[in-house]
Structure 1
Amino acid sequence: MSTLTSPTGRIYGGIFFLCLATLMYELVLTRIFSVLMWYHFASMAISLALFGMGVAALLVYLRPAWFPADRVPFLAARFSVLFALSVALFFFIFVLFRLYPQLGFKVLSFFHQPFYQPFQQGFYDRGVPGSLLLVIALLYLVTSLPFFFAGLALTLLLSRYLAAINRLYFWDLLGAGTGCLLIIVVLKLVGGITAILVIAVIGLLAAALFLPPQTPSLHRLGLWGVLLLLLAAGGANLLYGYADIRFARGRYEPNLLWSSWNSFSRVAVYPSQSQEMGQAWGLSRTYQGPIPEQLGMVVDDTGYTTMYRWEGEKTLGFFRDNVIALPYYLQQRPKALVIGPGGGKDVLTALAMDAVEVTAVEVNNLIVAGVNDEFGSFTGELYRRPEVRLEVDEGRSYIRRSSERYDIIQASAVFGRMAPAAGAFTLSENNLYTVEAFRDYWDHLSPDGILTISRFIFERETLRLVSLGLALLKEEGVADPAAHLAVIKERGLANFMLKRSPFKPEEIARLRELARQKEFDVVFLPDSRSGTGPFPELIASGGSAEYYRAYPFDITPTSDDRPFFHYMYKPLDFIRLFTFPAQSNFEDRAVLTLRNLLVVVAGFVALFFFVPLFLWRRQGLREPGTAGRIGYFACLGLGFMFIEIGLMRRFILFLGPPIYSLAVILFSLLVFSGVGSLLAGRFSDKNRRRTLLRVLLALVLLALFSIYALPLPLDAAMSAPILWRCLLAVLLLAPLGLLMGMPLPLGMALFHRDGSAVPWSWGINSATSVLGALLAVVMAMNFGFNLTLLGGVLVYALALLPVLLHRAPQP
């Protein structure tokens, strides 16, 4: 394909809007997948994006005759329209789900969480049906269609205007970076489903800019007609909600009372069933008092919490007989910190037990709006009560900046599971449950303060809480760690307690008597250490390496470098999953879904990328320098994803609420990479190879420096206002972003004499990015984020080799 050097301003504008719409669609997918299925399934969104674009690039390379160079602007407009229509098709799937909810349930029932509401079972097949692979494959192909059409438009433009690739790539990344910010506003204003149509409209705006001036007016009239139709459909959905999601925790909920979206969640409220209200998790079986009226609240698909009707003492009596109230019986009018209060259960417990002050740190402003505003008359505006101080912040980030000490720090079944941003899929990453987090809690406890965390006893994670406590006590040099620990459960819910000072004999006696009166089960108390079972055995071992090696699952303490609290497979066991074992625990389906994604993605990459090359371009594979070119662009795809995922991890604690990490980190990396691409065009063509070697070497060295040096300024500025922290994050990310934007346009210019092989290289880069997005997660889960970053550095270092071996073709 021949190339031109002067794309018009309309072409740049079209690329900006198309990339803006594509990134927004990718992020909306992470939100919608999180609401309908497990939140970690949102990882598929970035893989979808890169896969669709990569297949498009390969098609342009294999069939160049289908895309004449003189028609590229018109074809880019046509594919932008197809992008918009395929995005709109995704919207009408939700219309279909509203009309025929049983269709949605056939797919969503697999993702049901058993016991998704107290004592009520959902789908509970322990096996992973082989048909799920087909479902994932179908879902993968349908939702990747918009990325495929966007990829066709972008690949054609890059090939047509190769000499201007620096500027094209700049507008590409600037549009994507702007999309990171705009999606936050759009989700807030119109919600996730209507946002799909907003994205389709932006795609049509890109098509309008791509259309050549001489295009017949009929095409323009048709384009504007479709645009008006989509605007009307979106406006009607805002007014009547005919396509809104009515599924909550895998169950169709036609009577939702309220739902709302923000950048990282969708919160819905619906009536609780009568049997759920009387069988609350942790409630003593001896309780005979009144049951408060309740409303169920769900965050995405897995974060369930409850709001309670405020009726003064009548309400509060209910909470004194819950297992989560036990620490309060050991304190007199305590000062309490509640992390992740949700609908208010922990706060009501603290009030019921005469806490003198309760600080509630809730990361999700929609939950606060639900409790205080939307259902304020029901809850008594709980978070506005004089005894309660509300902080909308990420719990770990807040406590690190706080100078206060508390008698009780409480977190009851806080999932902390939020859908990640593009490229930031971290499975069950949770900053609240690491050794460093326990250190933060310990430092903010009063001398006799208690850290109390409640989790479901049948989850292996409860045992990991004990291992975290043992690791902290060992760091503190405590002679008798067992004297600081207690675990008591009520049927399914266990209350883990870590006391800063040893439990006194009278406190132990008090806990034991309370357990007897309320028919709680004592799992571990310091005065009885000779029992059998994993809890007393782990504590007796002191958290020894021998015990952890012998235990069938990974219950070792998690760290900020590897904060996958819910991931409990040992690396070798994860590899064994690829033998497709017949049986597995339901709670392991997070990992099984990742395995299935890897299988599906690897299969599609082989089928759509490499098989066509061997069938139709075998001769091209034998050309001199081809192997080096493939290796170079493969390294760029893998390296970028490894470093992006690792870098985003570095800033989560520093920035606090997910909205800031999403906006600041992705925006900074994408926009500064775009600026780097623009700057790369200023380098002399004569010294392109030497320039690229220097850029790659500087990138490797700066990335290495960032791994070990970034924690210092981040820790020093932790207490700064959020605006200053955001600005500092941008400044720290800017140099690396600049360098990460240069290798691709410089490499395109170095390895291609014309535009004929550009689609191939672009496709290889996309294909390896598809795998890199998932492989980086697997590496981080098993070995930590530092090694993931180091892996990215190593891959970029390997990219130096093809450049060193490259020889300019003879004229």
Structure 2
Amino acid sequence: MSETPALSHLCRGMFLLSMATLMYELILTRIFSVLMWYHFASLAISLALFGLGAAALCVQLLPHYFPEGRLEELAARYARFFSLSILAFFAIFVLFRLQPQFAFKVLSFFHQPFYQPFQQGFHDRAIPGALLLGLAALYLVTALPFFFSGLTITLLLSRRLAQINRLYFWDLLGAGVGCLAIIFVLKLVGGITGILAIALCGLLAAMAFAPRRRRLLNLTLLATLLLAGVGNHLGDFAEIRFARGRYEPHLLWSAWNSFSRVAVYPAQSQEMEHAWGISRAYRGPIPDQLGMVVDDSGYTTLFRWEGEKTLDYFRANLIALPYALKPEADTLIIGPGGGRDLLAALAMGARHITAVELNGLIVQGVNNIFGGFTGELYRHPKIRLAVDEGRSYVRQSKELFDVIQASAVFGRSAPAAGAFTLAENNLYTLEAFEDYWEHLTPDGILTISRFIFERETLRLVSLGLELLKRQGVANPTAHLAVIKERGLANFMLKRSPFTEEEIALLRREVRDREFEIVLLPDRPPGEDAFGRLVASGGSAEFYRDFPFDIRPVDDDRPFFYYMYKPADFLRLLTFPEKSNFEDRAVLTIRNLLVVVTALVLLCLLLPLAVKRRDDLREAGSGRRMLYFACLGLGFMLIEIGLLRRFILLFGPPIYALAVILFALLIFSGFGSLLAERIAQGRERSALIRILLALVLLSNLYIFALPPLLAGWVAWPLLGRVLLSVALLAPLGLLLGMPLPLGMRLLHRDGSTVAWSWGINSATSVLGALLATVLAMNVGFTWTLLAGEAVYALALLSILLPGYERKT
């Protein structure tokens, strides 16, 4: 069916605006990960809800402000406002550069007291009252683009109900392309200039909606965006100089890629003298250092290369202990960052080192930007570099290693697609330990360093105990050792039992270096947490009685850093004065869950209950609300559950984001087009079949997908991409049909389309949050099953009588 010129304009504009909106949400997760705590990237969720929900409510309650005869003009106006509001968001960063003290006052709450590279902020747990006004203003300015985008999209879908399949197709297609486009935008121009690129997409959408209107204004705004973008890209006048509320006055270098921002700064003297893991007995020279920060919480260090003089310093580091047991080791180092692990391995005489670093910007900084300082460390003759995700590399490798090392590899990264991930990490799961075990030589050592005061080392010991049980080891404690130096602990798991000679060597190293023993095979378990854990053998009784959750995590629930028990998280919803242990990330998601739920109920239901009582009292209106709420919740539960499942297949999480979201959104768009072929009057029977097929098919993805993905890991990347897209196509087609068909079935006169769209949008955002809460407490399998159950509830709302609005 050919499109009329007007519909063609609307479809092009819908595509561009939807693409820009998703890109804006994704870029917010990146920017918030730098400005604030990593988990505050989830603020993008509530921003999207606030904007999209308020827009749908305005269209529903104030229809006289949005006459149908001016649809193209209004769509162009609000798309232009979308672009202008993003330009206003960009202006905040210009203001921050011009007035750094103002920026410090607004952002200083988001400091991290454990690190000292930059100026510090407040130590209070609560937000100081004086900051609330600034944070509220920042919130509102950031939410405005979602509001104007929501106005445009809601108007298009509610005023062109007859073409909803076509328009919804372009909406999903734009969102899918946005998933890919943001990767290239961030890589090419970075996060702050990328804001202007998104504003440009919004302006192009305005020009597509009404090509002949406001030409002079559009050209002026276009020139402004281009000049500002080129100026910032070349002159750096609006780039971020704050990370987690600390002012970075003397940055030496910063760059963005699709999943991080990396910056290098001069190291302070107290950092060099009190580096984590260095022996207190060391009296030799300290190499010159530069600090490197990834987003807001990934800290690593660059060291000046001075040959043997440099290496003495690293022989005295805790992370060098495994090499005392394994001279001339063939070594695999995961996440070497600035190079501390590499230098320790070189200092201890490792024969060959494979370095697997996920972030290419770190490699660029070490080898190229500061290559004269580091000696181009990653190009050392003994080092082979692989830019890859560590777990994925191990699964594909056929080599065996004497030492597999991962020292304080950080996993706190921004959430994908606006979904709050709370730092899941597939490097530290039971299946990961099994992968490492299979790639160790018969007496090889897995060594992982973590900060002992964060309780993460306890979870490493629990993972080691469970792995050894599964391998049929009779005496697991004979394979485990934990030694610490101040706050850093070195966990070692040896494939064969530690020999008496090796234990004696470790004791000499501990004595000479003034380290401290936490666990050794010949040491009787003490009364501390480590001793009681080992003495219990990792029993269910021990884990049940322990105050927080240190049970082994697996690939289905890979939240290594999350240590609340499910019952404790539920108690947090009652806002207790004290909890078992404080975790700002968990408290944030608790607060966000409460706030978002309240916004959904108050902004979308209460005003409509007061002002549109006739609509609410009609037969079937309650089921109509339930139906569209289920579609929003169910889509996000399934989408996020699948996204996390595919991360192991693709390695770098950005690949999974690009492939999975792109495939699901694109095929959902084609599903919307296919639904257009269903004849009027047959929507109900078609929906029953589609929802039933969706529920049944989702079981295959829940239970059959993991073994399939495990078998594809060794395939070439292109093959994995094509197989994944083909696998997701049927599900995507089905996911795209229920919304446009439901709009046709349940809105014969179109009077409450905006309301239904608003409910669907709001519950989609709520679904992203609920998906994370479920995943971190019960795992991704139950998250996917919850999505299936929600779609089954949508099916029930169609099957029961009273489903259709009476006209």
TM-score tier, shorter chain, comes to over 0.9
User: 1:461 offset after TM fit, Å?
Assistant: 1.0
Consecutive aligned runs of 4 or more in structure 1 exceeding 6 Å deviation: 118-122, 128-136, 584-587
Which deviates further from its counterpart, 548-557 or 682-691?
A: 682-691
Q: Tell me if structure 2 keeps the 8 A contact 1:7–1:161.
A: no
User: 1:596 offset after TM fit, Å?
Assistant: 1.9
Tell me how far apart the structure 2 counterparts of residues 585 and 325 of structure 1 sit (CA, whole Å): 35
Which deviates further from its counterpart, 103-112 or 313-322?
A: 103-112
Which deviates further from its counterpart, 566-575 or 293-302?
A: 566-575
Report whether the alignment pairs 1:700 with 2:695: yes
Which deviates further from its counterpart, 752-761 or 609-618?
A: 609-618
What is the CA deviation profile of residues 232-258 of structure 1, one whole-angstrom value per residue up to 9, with x for unaligned ones?
A: 111111111110001234311121111
User: 1:382 offset after TM fit, Å?
Assistant: 0.6
Tell me how far apart the structure 2 counterparts of residues 580 and 683 of structure 1 sit (CA, whole Å): 50
Name the Cα RMSD after superposition.
1.9
Alignment of 1:469-480 (within 5 A): 469-480=464-475
Letter in 1 for 2:564: Y
Match of 1:104 in 2: 103
Match of 2:643 in 1: 648
What is the CA deviation profile of residues 211-246 of structure 1, one whole-angstrom value per residue up to 9, with x for unaligned ones?
A: 164x4xxx2201211111111111111111110001
Q: Tell me if structure 2 keeps the 8 A contact 1:696–1:797.
A: yes
Counterpart among 711, 714, 735 of residue 709 in structure 2? 714
Match of 2:490 in 1: 495
Q: Tell me if structure 2 keeps the 8 A contact 1:677–1:738.
A: yes
Q: Tell me if structure 2 keeps the 8 A contact 1:162–1:754.
A: no
Alignment of 1:374-389 (within 5 A): 374-389=369-384
What is the CA deviation profile of residues 88-136 of structure 1, one whole-angstrom value per residue up to 9, with x for unaligned ones?
A: 1111111111112222223432222221248998644355768888776
Tell me how far apart the structure 1 counterparts of residues 496 and 604 of structure 2 sit (CA, whole Å): 61
Task: Say which SS state the counterpart of residue 728 (structure 2) adopts.
Answer: helix
Letter in 1 for 2:314: F
User: 1:150 offset after TM fit, Å?
Assistant: 0.5
Match of 2:75 in 1: 76
Alignment of 1:244-259 (within 5 A): 244-259=239-254
Report whether the alignment pairs 1:546 with 2:541: yes
What is the CA deviation profile of residues 257-282 of structure 1, one whole-angstrom value per residue up to 9, with x for unaligned ones?
A: 11111110000011101121111100
Q: Tell me if structure 1 keeps the 8 A contact 2:449–2:488.
A: yes
Match of 2:331 in 1: 336
Letter in 2 for 1:647: L
User: 1:580 offset after TM fit, Å?
Assistant: 3.4
Which deviates further from its counterpart, 364-373 or 593-602?
A: 593-602
Tell me how far apart the structure 2 counterparts of residues 629 and 524 of structure 1 sit (CA, whole Å): 60
Alignment of 1:447-462 (within 5 A): 447-462=442-457
Q: CA 1:587/1:405 → structure 2, altered by over 3 Å: closer, same or farther?
A: farther
Alignment of 1:161-180 (within 5 A): 161-180=160-179
Report whether the alignment pairs 1:148 with 2:147: yes
Report whether the alignment pairs 1:686 with 2:681: yes
Letter in 2 for 1:19: S
Counterpart among 502, 506, 530 of residue 511 in structure 1? 506
Report whether the alignment pairs 1:577 with 2:572: yes
Report whether the alignment pairs 1:299 with 2:298: no
Counterpart among 665, 670, 673 of residue 668 in structure 2? 673
* Structure 2 unmatched ranges of 5 or more: none
Q: CA 1:738/1:95 → structure 2, altered by over 3 Å: closer, same or farther?
A: same
Task: Say which SS state the counterpart of residue 556 (structure 2) adopts.
Answer: coil
Task: Say which SS state the counterpart of residue 420 (structure 2) adopts.
Answer: coil
Q: Tell me if structure 2 keeps the 8 A contact 1:660–1:726.
A: no
Task: Give TM-score, length-normalised by structure 1.
Answer: 0.96
Match of 2:479 in 1: 484
Report whether the alignment pairs 1:443 with 2:438: yes
Match of 2:66 in 1: 67
Tell me how far apart the structure 2 counterparts of residues 552 and 131 of structure 1 sit (CA, whole Å): 36
Q: Tell me if structure 1 keeps the 8 A contact 2:624–2:803.
A: no
Counterpart among 557, 564, 572 of residue 562 in structure 1? 557
Match of 2:634 in 1: 639
Letter in 2 for 1:605: V
Which deviates further from its counterpart, 342-351 or 100-109?
A: 100-109
Q: Tell me if structure 2 keeps the 8 A contact 1:323–1:489.
A: yes
* Structure 1 unmatched ranges of 5 or more: none
Tell me how far apart the structure 1 counterparts of residues 524 and 454 of structure 2 sit (CA, whole Å): 22
Match of 1:592 in 2: 587
Alignment of 1:227-306 (within 5 A): 227-306=222-301
User: 1:414 offset after TM fit, Å?
Assistant: 0.5
Match of 1:55 in 2: 54
User: 1:662 offset after TM fit, Å?
Assistant: 1.8
Q: CA 1:122/1:100 → structure 2, altered by over 3 Å: closer, same or farther?
A: closer
Task: Say which SS state the counterpart of residue 498 (structure 1) adopts.
Answer: strand
Q: CA 1:67/1:212 → structure 2, altered by over 3 Å: closer, same or farther?
A: farther
Letter in 2 for 1:320: R
Q: CA 1:128/1:572 → structure 2, altered by over 3 Å: closer, same or farther?
A: farther
Q: Tell me if structure 1 keeps the 8 A contact 2:25–2:418.
A: no
Q: Tell me if structure 1 keeps the 8 A contact 2:119–2:246.
A: no
Task: Say which SS state the counterpart of residue 629 (structure 2) adopts.
Answer: helix
User: 1:324 offset after TM fit, Å?
Assistant: 0.6
Counterpart among 740, 743, 746 of residue 748 in structure 1? 743
Letter in 2 for 1:674: G
Q: CA 1:301/1:204 → structure 2, altered by over 3 Å: closer, same or farther?
A: same
What is the CA deviation profile of residues 352-406 of structure 1, one whole-angstrom value per residue up to 9, with x for unaligned ones?
A: 1100000000001111111111111111111111100000000001101111110
Task: State percent identity of aligned pairs.
Answer: 69
Q: Tell me if structure 1 keeps the 8 A contact 2:328–2:351.
A: yes
Match of 2:33 in 1: 34
Which deviates further from its counterpart, 761-770 or 303-312?
A: 761-770
Tell me how far apart the structure 1 counterparts of residues 424 and 778 of structure 2 sit (CA, whole Å): 13
Match of 2:43 in 1: 44
Report whether the alignment pairs 1:314 with 2:309: yes
Match of 1:783 in 2: 778
Report whether the alignment pairs 1:520 with 2:519: no
Q: Tell me if structure 2 keeps the 8 A contact 1:17–1:202.
A: yes
User: 1:48 offset after TM fit, Å?
Assistant: 2.1
Alignment of 1:85-164 (within 5 A): 85-117=84-116, 123-126=122-125, 139-164=138-163
Letter in 1 for 2:32: F
Q: CA 1:796/1:130 → structure 2, altered by over 3 Å: closer, same or farther?
A: farther
Which deviates further from its counterpart, 742-751 or 415-424?
A: 415-424
Counterpart among 604, 618, 625 of residue 623 in structure 1? 618
Q: Tell me if structure 2 keeps the 8 A contact 1:325–1:349.
A: yes
Q: CA 1:132/1:713 → structure 2, altered by over 3 Å: closer, same or farther?
A: farther
What is the CA deviation profile of residues 130-157 of structure 1, one whole-angstrom value per residue up to 9, with x for unaligned ones?
A: 8888776654433221011001011111
Letter in 1 for 2:347: A
Counterpart among 378, 392, 396 of residue 397 in structure 1? 392
Tell me how far apart the structure 2 counterparts of residues 74 and 586 of structure 1 sit (CA, whole Å): 55
Match of 1:15 in 2: 14
Which deviates further from its counterpart, 586-595 or 132-141?
A: 132-141
User: 1:683 offset after TM fit, Å?
Assistant: 1.4
Which deviates further from its counterpart, 138-147 or 281-290?
A: 138-147
Task: Say which SS state the counterpart of residue 487 (structure 1) adopts.
Answer: strand
Q: Tell me if structure 1 keeps the 8 A contact 2:105–2:131.
A: no
Match of 2:207 in 1: 208
Tell me how far apart the structure 1 counterparts of residues 449 and 84 of structure 2 sit (CA, whole Å): 47
Q: Tell me if structure 1 keeps the 8 A contact 2:109–2:121.
A: no
Tell me how far apart the structure 1 counterparts of residues 303 and 133 of structure 2 sit (CA, whole Å): 42
Q: CA 1:714/1:532 → structure 2, altered by over 3 Å: closer, same or farther?
A: same
Q: CA 1:179/1:592 → structure 2, altered by over 3 Å: closer, same or farther?
A: same
Q: Tell me if structure 2 keeps the 8 A contact 1:638–1:792.
A: yes
User: 1:289 offset after TM fit, Å?
Assistant: 0.8
What is the CA deviation profile of residues 635-692 of structure 1, one whole-angstrom value per residue up to 9, with x for unaligned ones?
A: 0011011101100011000001122112111111111111111111011223211111
Q: CA 1:245/1:609 → structure 2, altered by over 3 Å: closer, same or farther?
A: same
Letter in 1 for 2:546: Y
Letter in 1 for 2:739: L
Q: CA 1:352/1:809 → structure 2, altered by over 3 Å: closer, same or farther?
A: closer
Task: Say which SS state the counterpart of residue 553 (structure 1) adopts.
Answer: coil
